[in-house]
Structure 1
Amino acid sequence: MAPPIVTVVVQPRGKSIKKLPKEVQLASNASTQELYNSLAEASGYSIHRLRITKATDRALIPNSKESTIEASGLGEKSVVHIKDLGPQIAWQTVFIIEYLGPLLIPALFLFPLRPYLYFNFDTIPEPSDLQLLVCGLLTVHFLKREYETIFVHRFSNATMPARNIVKNSGHYWLLAGCNIAYWVFRPDAAAVTKQLNPVLLYTGLALFVFGELANFNSHLVLRDLRRPGTTERGIPSGFGFSAVTCPNYFFEVVSWVGVYLVSGLSWSVLFFIVVASAQMALWAQKKERRYRKEFGDKYKRKRFVILPGLF
């Protein structure tokens, strides 16, 4: 016996959407993804630009192959609201743009832009070995980030509002790019004027290498929790995951502490570490709450979310 056909009433929420149909008809066992596809095709909008909620309780209708019309509580003449989220940009593209700035800015500040940035100095010496080393560490770090974005990460959300790209990129372009590069590469920076203690140098390099490799391993673990093309999640386990909720963030901090030591204890690197750590701590707290809610007793609750023994 064929499943019954359900007529869903469609109403725009917020600004009007041209060509939006007043009704769509779908089988009761059709996936909610088919509802999105139907409305996207009719309106001419990207499927990722539409947000569909139930009029009764404003609950989100997921864009999912696993969720059905009937299971979502939609019946004959049920009303759904359609919101235009505005122009979208792929999350992968967002990350590529975010990391491109701090990938290129250090080398630009250290070489072609150097005479123009430090014009007020009587003499501008060639970059010191430590400055070249810091530039190399920053380049390696953000090249790794770009590689992970393209080949490792699987994104739970396909897109984000395009207008947010400036805000999202500002953190990396200004703090990790311009802030660090300008101050560390100055002719009077500690990386030029002071002889760095070998203990700090080699400790910093060791922390950087360890942090980068461990962070990469954490990303591989997180990647393997999700099958390609799905948004399902599993409980992560492995190196670091028994100590904190987000060891990838912890190892990120370790890596940056390494850069801080190699830079000659530059305040600009320390400032970036503090700001970035605070943001990552907020993300880690949210992830811990989500794990507890999503997996219940199956998940071993963590006392510390990012820094073992501290936070």
Structure 2
Amino acid sequence: MAISFLPMVLFPLPPSLFVTVMSIISCLSLANGGYMETKGKHMQYSKFFSVADSKKSKDQEIKLSSRSGMLLLYTPAFLVGHVSFAIFHNRDLRFIMVISVLTIHFFKRVLEVLLVHKYSGSMALDAAISISLSYTISTATMIYAQYLSQSFDEPAMDLKYIGTTLFLIGITGNFYHHYILSNLRKKGDSGYRIPKGGLFNLVICPHYLFEIIQFVGVACICQTVYSFSFTLGTAFYLMGRSYATREWYILKFGDKFHKDVKALVPYIF
């Protein structure tokens, strides 16, 4: 039943070995990343990246300020989206929408790095480069898969306008909760506090919840196998990361952290 439904909502997989392989790798690698987060294997820009792990090969690591590291994470992917407008000339409406939302997504992240987020640490250069490459390659692959899909007939169910609505809800909710997080710290303060306001009273990672909604919106605009594979992997990764975040808050704040506050989905998870 589910398999027979897929041709109604997805373009066929394009005749590209690269896109096929990346559809599998993106989903599995992101899902594995989420699983590793639940096991305490955190990315090196995480606030709960352990002190013991951070001491490994410390003398050999090249460090960036957190702001510079985060800019390195997002700027190349933003440029991929921006340059795609000039590279691809035969574009239908859906393809233009895909490039637009991906470019807006990373432009918003760059603006948050410059104007919203507050920082207290550093980031290893090799970690920043590897994460940046991941964002850049996944963005380029999503755009390339969409370009190839223009030669196919449109899916029977057109989800791009539903996707646009979900994208706008997701990016707005994500920004709002990032703004709340940024206001937790006063000038010169490097400590952590339990966030309050918005959906933080129900879940500890509402910004991740809205990021998932945002990428579900992107997948609905694309309606390609790769976009849905990437979104599924992203959802699993952020589930794992939100679970790890909740465990970190419980460990750090103990009884001060309200146990009814879930990780990602209000009242459920």
TM-score norm. by structure 1 comes to 0.62
Q: What displacement does 1:280 show?
A: 2.1
Are 1:300 and 2:258 counterparts?
Answer: yes
Q: What displacement does 1:187 show?
A: 5.2
Amino acid at match of 1:210: I
Q: Distance in 2 between matches of 1:289 and 1:142?
A: 29
Identity %: 25
Aligned pair count? Answer: 215
Q: What displacement does 1:249 show?
A: 0.3
* Counterpart for residue 30 of structure 1: none
Q: Distance in 2 between matches of 1:269 and 1:206?
A: 17
Amino acid at match of 1:256: F
Once the two structures are superposed, residues 84-129 of structure 1 have per-residue CA deviations (whole angstroms, 9 ceiling, x without a partner) of 36321122112212212221223434532x4xxxxxxxxxx72001
The 3-state SS of whatever aligns with 1:156 is coil
Map residues 70-109 of structure 1 onto 2, 5 A cutoff. 84=59, 86-109=61-84
Are 1:194 and 2:169 counterparts?
Answer: no
User: Is residue 98–residue 172 contact of structure 1 (8 Å, CA) maintained in 2?
Assistant: yes
What RMSD, in angstroms, separates the aligned Cα atoms of the two structures?
Answer: 2.5
User: Is residue 110–residue 185 contact of structure 1 (8 Å, CA) maintained in 2?
Assistant: no
* Counterpart for residue 141 of structure 2: 179
Alpha carbons of 1:172 and 1:224: their partners in 2 closer, same or farther (altered >3 Å)?
same
Alpha carbons of 1:225 and 1:303: their partners in 2 closer, same or farther (altered >3 Å)?
closer
Which protein is richer in strand relative to its size? 1
Structure 1: unaligned runs, 5 residues or longer: 1-58, 61-82, 115-124
Map residues 204-219 of structure 1 onto 2, 5 A cutoff. 204-219=163-178
* Counterpart for residue 180 of structure 2: 221
User: Is residue 67–residue 114 contact of structure 2 (8 Å, CA) maintained in 1?
Assistant: yes
The 3-state SS of whatever aligns with 1:141 is helix
User: Is residue 105–residue 181 contact of structure 1 (8 Å, CA) maintained in 2?
Assistant: no
Q: Which moved more, 1:180-189 or 1:229-238?
A: 180-189
Amino acid at match of 2:92: S
Alpha carbons of 1:85 and 1:281: their partners in 2 closer, same or farther (altered >3 Å)?
farther
Which has the higher relative contact order, 1 or 2, with Cα contacts under 8 A spaced 6 or more apart?
A: 2
User: Is residue 109–residue 182 contact of structure 1 (8 Å, CA) maintained in 2?
Assistant: no
Structure 2: unaligned runs, 5 residues or longer: 1-50, 53-57
Residue of structure 2 aligned with 1:255, choices 214, 222, 237: 214
Are 1:127 and 2:87 counterparts?
Answer: no
Q: What displacement does 1:195 show?
A: 6.0
Q: Distance in 1 between matches of 2:161 and 2:156?
A: 10
Q: Which structure has the larger Rg?
A: 1
Which protein is richer in helix relative to its size? 2
Alpha carbons of 1:242 and 1:189: their partners in 2 closer, same or farther (altered >3 Å)?
farther
User: Is residue 218–residue 239 contact of structure 1 (8 Å, CA) maintained in 2?
Assistant: yes
Are 1:272 and 2:239 counterparts?
Answer: no
Once the two structures are superposed, residues 244-302 of structure 1 have per-residue CA deviations (whole angstroms, 9 ceiling, x without a partner) of 22000000010111111111x21211222122223322322222112112222221124
Are 1:163 and 2:101 counterparts?
Answer: no
Q: Distance in 2 between matches of 1:139 and 1:303?
A: 33
Q: What displacement does 1:189 show?
A: 5.7
Q: Distance in 1 between matches of 2:243 and 2:84?
A: 36
Q: What displacement does 1:303 show?
A: 6.1
Q: What displacement does 1:132 show?
A: 0.5
